[in-house]
Structure 1
């Protein structure tokens, strides 16, 4: 079975869904029952300062001051998800690999204010999911390209550059993906 856990899904021009068009999705879990991932390159209008204020935190770390929460996907958009490294020990965490976890419990928000606890974090509202076999069909239909994930892209690459950075891992530019053909 294909296991795309800890991989990127890179939307191709064939994917016309408005939410997923141009998306880079980090796959957090992929089993025969389906897949779960987070869109990591589509900012929401919610700034991180709102998240910290809502959690009652008085101190907002400088590294999050100008950051935005990502639109993780259409499922449970009222719920927050924190993709982070290291995995740590939280009340509700899905371990993706030995370095990354996705936490939905509030205890991690307080820890984000303590620079030594969580090295890097990306927050999303909502997540993306596929039923068993659905993602494999979409890949076969050329909706997605896949490549092993890279924490440099997740946590250090500017949002607007993440999609192309993932394509670069495949040696592809956006122009190579243009759908349609030219006529002389």
Structure 2
């Protein structure tokens, strides 16, 4: 796969007509894209419990972490019992995949324990599950106009309020989602 068609470190922005509840109005950060398929994390679908509750569920001590109310996200429909942490690449944890020179994803418990004790990465996005595509599947969905694609932005990923991420990711590539129709016609 050439660099121009590789969507690693890009956002997939769901088109307004994409009705699948896993991806409705979603922004998905692509962690890996190759000839074998793609893997990403939905970054704007929070689940109904907080980081504090995740610590309790995992039986992790957490005296006074500054981010105990941080949202947890539904990262996608695959392996949604498994945790994924997107974070700046400043340290390697037990199970870390470097995505770019600046960003990584970690799936090991040690990073969650570090976050609980305020020793983790300064910024992070924690998700349960991921979105996965088989060889050629994502490319076909893009050709079918299910997704817009654009370069990822750390501000959208880590700092922007969740409710603003979908519109902001589209705006970054010059698209106003309010002007797109949810229906299509045929000539």
TM over 0.5: yes
Gaps of 5+ in 1: none
Which residue of 156, 177, 181 corresponds with 1:178? 181
- Asked if 1:82 corresponds to 2:85, the answer is yes
Q: Deviations over 1:84-104 (max 9, x none)?
A: 113411111111111111111
- The CA RMSD measured in Å over matched residues stands at 1.7
Q: Counterpart of 2:114 in 1: which secondary structure? A: helix
Partners of 2:177 and 2:132 lie apart in 1 by 25
Which residue of 57, 62, 65 corresponds with 1:58? 62
Gaps of 5+ in 2: none
1:36 shift after superposition: 0.2
1:17 shift after superposition: 1.2
1:74 shift after superposition: 0.5
Q: State the number of aligned residues.
A: 181
- The structure-2 alpha-carbon separation of the partners of 1:138 and 1:108, relative to structure 1 and needing over 3 Å to count, comes to same
1:21 shift after superposition: 1.2
Partners of 2:118 and 2:131 lie apart in 1 by 29
Q: Deviations over 1:92-131 (max 9, x none)?
A: 1111111111111001012214546412111101000000
Partners of 2:172 and 2:6 lie apart in 1 by 19
1:47 shift after superposition: 0.7
- Asked if 1:47 corresponds to 2:46, the answer is no
Paired position in structure 2 for 1:104: 107
Paired position in structure 2 for 1:129: 132
Partners of 1:156 and 1:129 lie apart in 2 by 25
Q: Is the 8 A contact 1:14 1:142 kept in 2?
A: no
